[in-house]
Amino acid sequence: MGERALGWGLRLLGIVFFIGPFIAAFTAHDWDLQAAVVPSQAEMDDVKERLSGLVVEEGFSEDPFIFETPIFSNDTVRMAVEFTSPLKIPIKITDLSATISDQGLQVAQVQMEEAEVDVPANGTANFTLVGSYTGVPPTDPEPTYVNITFELYGITLQLQMEVG
């Protein structure tokens, strides 16, 4: 008799541990299935706010870049760049390369001198692009293609843009 009662008691306990969570969760949310299962609206709003920091309304164009006039000396070309981040979170630029053209002709390829550059949220960073060059210095050099690689939250984004 006792063994049978214990058997049924333990079986019942197992059922309570399975059904109990459903009842507790649904009762806590007035039997609203969605509210019991999915994260709360406040949590989703926090995530949305974080995600909005990653979105650039007008798209990620060349506007954040200010390219100074390239300086040619001793077979080397140097170009100062100012980057103003359109993102609401800090990023790290790990690579930036650009093609310098003169009268529509590619004359040099420049790369970021620094190993990496940290840019604060909506902040500005300055860095230098360097490359080699042979021949007569061009008269009207300007960057035409830009390839930028940056990291945010450990995720790498690589963008190719046509500028100028």
Partner 1 sequence: MKRISLRMRLPPVNWFGLVAGALMLLLPFLGPWWSATVGAGAMDLALSPFDYRMSLLEQPITSTLIGYFLLAAKLSVMIGGALMIAGSLGPKRWWGRRLVRFGAMRVFWMVIGLIALLLVGALFLNSILPNLISGMVEGGSMQVKVPYVEGVTTSTIQVDAATITAPITASLTEIFWVAVVVAVLGVAARIYHRRFVKPVKPVKPK
Q: Which of 12, 55, 121, 159 is in the footprint of partner 1 by CB under 8 A? A: 159
Q: How far is the CB of 2 from partner 1 (least distance, A)?
A: 7
Would you say how long the chain is, in residues?
A: 164
* Closest residue by Cα to residue 162 from 150, 149, 147, 144: 144
Q: Which of 12, 15, 31, 39 is in the footprint of partner 1 by CB under 8 A? A: 39
Beta strand 71-73 with 117-119 is unpaired
Footprint (CB under 8 A) of partner 1, residues 41-100: 43, 46-47, 50-51, 60
C-alpha span between 86 and 57 (Å, rounded)? 9
Q: How far is the CB of 98 from partner 1 (least distance, A)?
A: 14
How many residues line the site for partner 1 (CB under 8 A)?
Answer: 39
Q: Which of 28, 55, 66, 71 is in the footprint of partner 1 by CB under 8 A? A: 28
C-alpha span between 124 and 135 (Å, rounded)? 34
- Spatial neighbors of 141 by CB under 8 A, at least 6 apart, are 69, 70, 72, 77, 100, 101, 102, 107, 108
Query: Which chain residues interact with partner 1 by CB under 8 A?
Result: 2-3, 6-7, 10, 13-14, 17-18, 20-22, 24-26, 28-29, 35-40, 43, 46-47, 50-51, 60, 152-161
